[in-house]
Structure 1
Amino acid sequence: MGATDHRVTLSPAAVKEMRSQLPHLADDIVSAIVQEVPAYRDAFSGPMGQTISNAVRLALGGFLTLAGRSKASDQRTTALATEGSYQLGRGEARSGRSTDALLAAYRIGARVAWRELSSTGVRHGLGADVLADFAQLVFAYIDEQSAAAVAGHSEETETTGRVRQRLLDRLAELLLEGASADELTHAAERAGWPEPRTLTAVLAPTETVRAVVVGLPRETLQVPEADGDGLLLVPDVRRSGLLRTLRDHDALAGPTVAWREVRRSVDRAVRARALGVERDTESALPHLVLHADEDALADLRAQALAPLDALKPSARDKLADTLRAWLLHQGRRDDVAKALFVHPQTVRYRMGQLRDLYGDRLEDPDTVLALTLALA
């Protein structure tokens, strides 16, 4: 049975006395809620407290209008009570209280209201059958009011969530666009996103993003990205812990940078992903530097290794390997021999060939740098 379909008939005198009790009854309900629901202990000290108290009085008034079978036009009072409960639910969501706390408050309100109103009904001679119907009316009405409050809470939560997500998406866009510091600060404030000290860009396959996010800070920003990867901007995270989180997800972390400069981290991560770097861009910096400009690297190799061009491919490869090992081991012949699995005398012979081809340039720092990069 819905509250509007009730069969209760209360005498005008009973309704009048119950209505006179409403201020006192509302205070009793509020006191019981404060005592029994921890989330409400401090709720009545601010502006929201008056809103809650008003909603309680409005709900009680709507109930007595319904119980007294007033004119059809008076149904507006019950509609106002339902709207009041709906708006109360929205306010509670904004205050950060859960639907569990809200429903507990309604249950306590029903209990206190039934205790007081039924006592008044007994004084006015209500029989057992009428009291039973009256009890049904009380709890059906409370169910409807609490349902309206939960609906308001859910709507506010969903709306707030959608609005905040749009603001977070806009913040991420501005970060990737390299917006000014003032624009970024304003966008962060609007989104309710606490400014971190640093951000780290993380690329992860779209299908694993959800699993990766579970192990990251709550305020991580998510950005849809093309080419099968999702982009995450992770605030203030220990790099060792981040890399452990990414270990089993084919994800890649860019450098950790000042939060307004996260575009640098994103660009490096994207470039490293294209070069096949795994997990950590910072473990592959030489590789990234070498391949930052592939055309320039190809030209450098052609220029630095030009003295070997006249040789047969097999001889060219052997001398190039020897020259690489010689550069890496700083000319220590025995170490070069071990690295190449050849006799030191072979190294001496090959280095003689290289000196014939390069002449004094092998002692020139610029040439040594060019060869090191070309052969890396």
Structure 2
Amino acid sequence: MAATSELITFPPAVVAAMQAELPAVAQHTVATIVVEVPSYADAFAGEMGRAISSAVELALGGFLDLATATGGVDPSRPIGPALEGAYKLGRGEARSGRSMDSLLAAYRVGARVAWRHMSDTAVAAGLTVGSLARFAELVFAYIDQLSASSVAGHTDELETTGRVRRHHRERLGAVLLAGRPVHELTAAAERADWPTPRTLTAVLLPEVRARGALGLLDARTLQVSDDPPGLDPSTELTVLLVPDAGEGARPALLRALQGRSATVGPAKPWASVAASYGRALRALRLGLVAEGPAALDTEQRLPDLVLRADDEALADLRAAALAPLDGLSGAAREKLVATLRSWLLHHGRREQVAAELFVHPQTVRYRMGQLRELFGNRLDDPQRVLELTLALGATPG
């Protein structure tokens, strides 16, 4: 409220009368708040109740300090202890999980009660009618200051607790990815005030797309942006650890991540999410990509992940298993490799092989004749068939 240079002078008799009424006004103010502000109905029974009652008495006492100030009353003059009490009250409201709505409503009730009772007392004690309007100005200017101080306390508490909680949750995400022992993870979860889920699913995606994704995911989702292990910082990727997104909930997760260039690991028990992260990271390193805007679901790419766990060993296996084709030209080799792969995966069903390759069944029969000439009885040897299946199973060609 804007400051005013006009001061109010209270006669000693008026001040004495208001001081005598102070306990009754404080009691009536608390009782009225309980009735008119429902969220405070049970608040006065415990520690919060004592804090609120003390704040009411302190606020009224601060008001009387204004009234007895030497040289008259300046409505813009701050009262330190009362403002400090209001600030602490705002912080307490934030710690209790309440918004400022209830406290501001309580201030309005308090202002009305204090004005009605103390103005009646002041007039009865001799306060002139001409001073009454300035008295009202004093009351409501004072309430404005208290309200502003409480709002500042509430805001500061939320910011402080929010920063602390974010810090602890970032730390929790880091120790989860590091695969620390369960007792360390449990302690970190308690410090972060984070209810442990049944499972966690690791998701890798560009950091610029994480904010939009978080708005669609479980509120307990953790984000790890500060140098996740094994992730090159230059990729500008972040890690999300999504609670309880396995089994029937996985399709919803994949839909939420569509169009966000995300790589999604498997759902694992929450304390074992490092395994989910490791799989998503491996898929990323292998360059696996999804079709179109869909997220890359590593659960659908398990054969690729298994077969390419050791790319050098896979290359050696392919070279040895397909050695009978070494003498062919590039185009001829490519056709026979595609035919052999389809024949193996379709268990020799010629019609299905032909449909997949968009050729006539007779063409399949002809090519398989060539392959039998080149491979001989290897195509009837279970061990050789296994080697060929592994060699050709990951990717065609």
With structure 2 as the length reference, what TM-score do the two structures score?
A: 0.88
Change (3 A) 1:5 1:188: farther
**How many angstroms does 1:200 deviate by?**
1.0
The answer on 1:130 being equivalent to 2:131 is yes
**AA in 2 matched with 1:41:** A
User: What is the rounded CA distance, in whole Å, between the counterparts of 2:71 and 2:273 in structure 1?
Assistant: 65
What pairs up with 1:1-376 in 2 under 5 angstroms?
A: 7-70=7-70, 78-224=79-225, 226=233, 227-237=235-245, 238-274=249-285, 275-278=287-290, 279=295, 280-376=297-393
Q: Deviations over 1:230-269 (max 9, x none)?
A: 2111111311211111123332321111111111111222
The answer to whether the 8 A contact 2:62-2:79 is kept is yes
Aligned partner of residue 373 in structure 1, secondary structure: helix
**How many angstroms does 1:31 deviate by?**
1.5
The answer to whether the 8 A contact 2:83-2:149 is kept is yes
Aligned partner of residue 374 in structure 2, secondary structure: helix
Change (3 A) 1:110 1:320: same
Change (3 A) 1:100 1:334: closer
The answer to whether the 8 A contact 1:4-1:66 is kept is no
The answer to whether the 8 A contact 2:177-2:273 is kept is yes
User: What is the rounded CA distance, in whole Å, between the counterparts of 1:211 and 1:334 in structure 2?
Assistant: 47
The answer to whether the 8 A contact 1:2-1:141 is kept is no
User: What is the rounded CA distance, in whole Å, between the counterparts of 1:45 and 1:364 in structure 2?
Assistant: 83
User: What is the rounded CA distance, in whole Å, between the counterparts of 1:124 and 1:90 in structure 2?
Assistant: 38
Higher helix share: 1
Aligned partner of residue 201 in structure 1, secondary structure: strand
Q: Deviations over 1:153-173 (max 9, x none)?
A: 111111111111111011011
Q: Deviations over 1:126-175 (max 9, x none)?
A: 22221111111111111111111111111111111111111101101100
Q: Which runs of 5+ in 2 are unaligned?
A: none
**AA in 1 matched with 2:250:** R
User: What is the rounded CA distance, in whole Å, between the counterparts of 1:62 and 1:138 in structure 2?
Assistant: 11
**How many angstroms does 1:3 deviate by?**
7.6
**How many angstroms does 1:71 deviate by?**
9.1
Aligned partner of residue 97 in structure 1, secondary structure: coil
Q: Deviations over 1:17-50 (max 9, x none)?
A: 2112222211111122122222212211211100
User: What is the rounded CA distance, in whole Å, between the counterparts of 2:92 and 2:330 in structure 1?
Assistant: 79
Percentage identity across aligned positions? 58
**AA in 2 matched with 1:87:** K
Task: Report the number of matched residues.
Answer: 373
Change (3 A) 1:309 1:42: same
**How many angstroms does 1:353 deviate by?**
3.1
**How many angstroms does 1:325 deviate by?**
2.0
Q: Which runs of 5+ in 1 are unaligned?
A: none
The answer to whether the 8 A contact 1:61-1:77 is kept is no
Change (3 A) 1:204 1:343: closer
The answer to whether the 8 A contact 2:14-2:125 is kept is yes
The answer to whether the 8 A contact 2:55-2:86 is kept is yes
**How many angstroms does 1:5 deviate by?**
5.9
**How many angstroms does 1:6 deviate by?**
5.9
**AA in 2 matched with 1:107:** R
**How many angstroms does 1:99 deviate by?**
1.4
**How many angstroms does 1:78 deviate by?**
3.1
User: What is the rounded CA distance, in whole Å, between the counterparts of 2:137 and 2:274 in structure 1?
Assistant: 63
User: What is the rounded CA distance, in whole Å, between the counterparts of 1:366 and 1:71 in structure 2?
Assistant: 105
**AA in 2 matched with 1:65:** D
User: What is the rounded CA distance, in whole Å, between the counterparts of 1:120 and 1:340 in structure 2?
Assistant: 99
User: What is the rounded CA distance, in whole Å, between the counterparts of 2:301 and 2:200 in structure 1?
Assistant: 19
**How many angstroms does 1:291 deviate by?**
2.2
Larger deviation: 336-345 or 298-307? 336-345
**How many angstroms does 1:289 deviate by?**
2.0
User: What is the rounded CA distance, in whole Å, between the counterparts of 1:90 and 1:173 in structure 2?
Assistant: 30
User: What is the rounded CA distance, in whole Å, between the counterparts of 1:189 and 1:22 in structure 2?
Assistant: 45
**AA in 1 matched with 2:243:** P
User: What is the rounded CA distance, in whole Å, between the counterparts of 2:375 and 2:216 in structure 1?
Assistant: 55
User: What is the rounded CA distance, in whole Å, between the counterparts of 1:324 and 1:312 in structure 2?
Assistant: 18
